[in-house]
Amino acid sequence: MKIRLLIHGQVIPATLYDNSSARDFYTMLPLTLTLEDYAATEKIGYPPRKLDTTAAPEGHAPAVGDITYYAPWGNLALFHKGFRYSSGLVSLGKIESGVALLRQPGKMTVVVERVE
């Protein structure tokens, strides 16, 4: 499932994986979120509802460019740095290029859209 993130007028291409949580997220698109910094490692934002995680693994060790969902808090997490394995973190997809835009400090608005 191809998607794009629009940040400050720039397009960041990404791909969602074929899992139930990613498919559930895909049904919400298009979506506008406010992202904020978290732990100098990721940008986080809250979709309008929690995602289905019934078939998700117990956790994930994120790498640069990973699109994830942190089930305990119900937030989307876009990683611009790698991080250790985290319980409750569900892998949704991968940013293909442009991850450097996420390193800009402070809040930012992102529009997430399907690419048909």
So where are the chain's domains?
2-114
Q: Mean pLDDT, the chain, as a whole number?
A: 96
- State the pLDDT at residue 98: 94
DSSP string of 38-96, one letter each residue: ETTTEEEE--SSPPP-TT--SEE---TTEEEEETTTTEEEEESS----EETEEEEEEE-
Neighbouring-strand partners of residue 7? 10, 110
Per-residue pLDDT tens over the stretch 83-114: 999 999 999 999 999 999 999 999 999 999 99
How many C-beta atoms lie closer than 10 Å to residue 90's C-beta? Answer: 26
User: What is the pTM assigned to this prediction?
Assistant: 0.96
Q: Which CATH class is domain 2-114?
A: mainly beta
Burial class (CB in 10 A: 0-12, 13-18, 19+), 49: exposed
